[in-house]
Amino acid sequence: MKRKTKLWVGSGIFCLLALLISSWYSVTFNGSRLVVPMDFDTYAFQPRDPPMIFSVSIACIYLLGLFFTLFLKGLRSRQSVARSNTTRSLNPRLGFLGLLGFLGFAGFWTYSVNGTIFPFAFFLFFGFFGFYYEGKMSGTFMDERFRENAVQASLKASNITFTILFIALVLLCQGRLMGNPEYTLIGFVITLSLALALRIFLSEYLLYRYDHEELPAEGEE
């Protein structure tokens, strides 16, 4: 692991530990202040608040720093791809991130507990399975056939996605799903997330298939 990565992982673990310890401190000695939801309009500083304030502050700084670093890295990677005319280097194992899509099922739990539906959007992470195929095409020289295939794959993926969305919209807009408008909204959020995930995955999968299908044996002729 690179030194910078180690530093980020180490800092992340430190922030997490700081949050856990300060939360424990607040719950044990400070009446759960700043842990349970509270009205900040009437907030008054108390001598036992600093641990929680400190840990939340460093966690926010860490997340902001991580976001900007990843953003800059992505930007640099794009520039490097444009310069070298090859696809970006990616480990196919990143495709396992697609498993995060199962977090979407947490939406059924959060909806039943407090009516929150945003976790259904996590179904979008299923699209990360596309990293597997993108990783398999890492560092591929992008000649005109590759670029044509990429456009073709992207168009086909978009067509399939929009067709699914259109059908889902027509069906869901017929009226209430199981007699409940909220279920209809949930159905739409799930469909939208899954359709977008499919769009992300399919464009990579189809590009890989177009690029590799009917490829002759490795011999010269």
Looking at beta carbons only, is 40 or 141 nearer to other proteins? 141
As a whole number of angstroms, the distance between CA 142 and CA 144 comes to: 7
216 binds other proteins (CB under 8 A): yes
As a whole number of angstroms, the distance between CA 24 and CA 73 comes to: 35
Q: Which of 30, 24, 61 is nearest to 48 (CA)?
A: 30
Site for other proteins (CB under 8 A): which residue of 70, 116, 143, 151? 143
Site for other proteins (CB under 8 A): which residue of 1, 40, 82, 221? 221
141 binds other proteins (CB under 8 A): yes
Looking at beta carbons only, is 148 or 182 nearer to other proteins? 148
What's the min distance (Å) between Cβ of 145 and other proteins? 5
What's the min distance (Å) between Cβ of 209 and other proteins? 13
Q: Which positions from 195 through 214 interact with other proteins, judged by CB under 8 A?
A: 211, 214
What's the min distance (Å) between Cβ of 205 and other proteins? 18
Site for other proteins (CB under 8 A): which residue of 1, 82, 112, 144? 144
Q: Which residues contact 127 (CB under 8 A, 6 or more apart)?
A: 98, 101, 196, 197, 198, 199, 200, 201
Q: Do residues 191 and 164 touch, judged by C-beta distance below 8 A?
A: yes
The backbone region for 160, taken as left when phi is positive above 0, alpha when psi lies in -120 to 50, beta otherwise, is alpha
- From the list 29-37, 100-108, 144-152, 155-163, the region that binds other proteins by CB under 8 A is 144-152
Looking at beta carbons only, is 39 or 220 nearer to other proteins? 220
- Convert 152-191 into a string of H (helix), E (strand) and C (coil): HHHHHHHHHHHHHHHHHHHHHCCCCECCEHHHHHHHHHHH
What's the min distance (Å) between Cβ of 171 and other proteins? 37
Q: Which residues contact 177 (CB under 8 A, 6 or more apart)?
A: 183, 184, 186, 187
Question: What angle, 0 to 180 degrees and rounded to 10, lies between the N-to-C axes of helices 181-212 and 106-114?
Answer: 170
Looking at beta carbons only, is 39 or 213 nearer to other proteins? 213
215 binds other proteins (CB under 8 A): yes
What's the min distance (Å) between Cβ of 214 and other proteins? 7
The footprint of other proteins (CB under 8 A) covers 140-141, 143-146, 211, 214-216, 220-221
